[in-house]
Each structure stands twice: as structure tokens, then as C-alpha cells.
Amino acid sequence: QKEVEQNSGPLSVPEGAIASLNCTYSDRVSQSFFWYRQYSGKSPELIMSIYSNGDKEDGRFTAQLNKASQYVSLLIRDSQPSDSATYLCAVNFLVSGGYQKVTFGTGTKLQVIP
């Protein structure tokens, strides 16, 4: 089982709809969770971080975390064609020495259809 799992997609949604991206992670001590967006040919860029259970909203983006279910999601409201990209989920796991190490999922490709 991979430590961070995402459906590779593509996930296709019509313009203006809500896009829902999901991520599950393994049963290890984890503290923080991130969503990155990666446009084709570009580096990943951080769009959201979440640390505690519940929802966190930032503009059209909402991150949701459920630690009991080991589940984190990203909702994009009023999806735009410019949101078309690959979305990467990342989790900070506690490793030996008391450090944390970031592990990425393989990403979900989102296509917003005009």
C-alpha cells in the first residue's frame, strides 16, 4: 500500500462546477497536509495547507481533513479552465530522529471543460 494515494484521473468537470479531489494516507503519525498544483511543464506550487480536522477555505478552494478516516480532500468551486492541472496531495509523516518527511501522492489530473 502506498503511503499517500490519489486517483490519477483524469477528472473532468464542466466549467462552473465543483471539482472534488481526494487523497488517503497510511496509518502513520502525520501532522500536516498540503495540496499542490502542477501545470504541465511547470514545478508544483503550494495552494493549500491544513493541519486540523475540519474544513479550511481560501477563496474558491476548500481543504477538508478527517484524521480518523485518514482522508484529505480539496474542493474547487466555480471551476475554471485555468484550474486544469495535476493536483498533488502531500503529507508530513514523522520519521526517526523526530523529524518530519514530506511524501507526495502521484497526483490527480483535473480537466475543466469550457
Footprint on this chain of other proteins (rule: CB under 8 A): 31-32, 34, 43-46, 49, 51, 88, 90, 92, 95, 97, 99-107
Query: Smaller CB distance to other proteins: residue 90 or 112?
Result: 90
Least separation in angstroms between CB 40 and other proteins: 9
Least separation in angstroms between CB 41 and other proteins: 9
Under a CB-based contact definition with an 8 Å cutoff, are residues 63 and 47 in contact?
Answer: no
* Lookup: cell for 58: 481560501
Using CA atoms of 32, 19, 9, 13 in order, give the dihedral in degrees to the nearest 10.
Answer: -170
Angle 52-22-14 from CA coordinates, rounded to 5°: 125
Under a CB-based contact definition with an 8 Å cutoff, are residues 32 and 50 in contact?
Answer: yes
Least separation in angstroms between CB 71 and other proteins: 18
Could you tell me whether strands 108-113 and 11-14 are parallel, antiparallel, or unpaired per DSSP bridges?
parallel
Query: Smaller CB distance to other proteins: residue 97 or 114?
Result: 97
Least separation in angstroms between CB 33 and other proteins: 9
Query: Smaller CB distance to other proteins: residue 46 or 113?
Result: 46
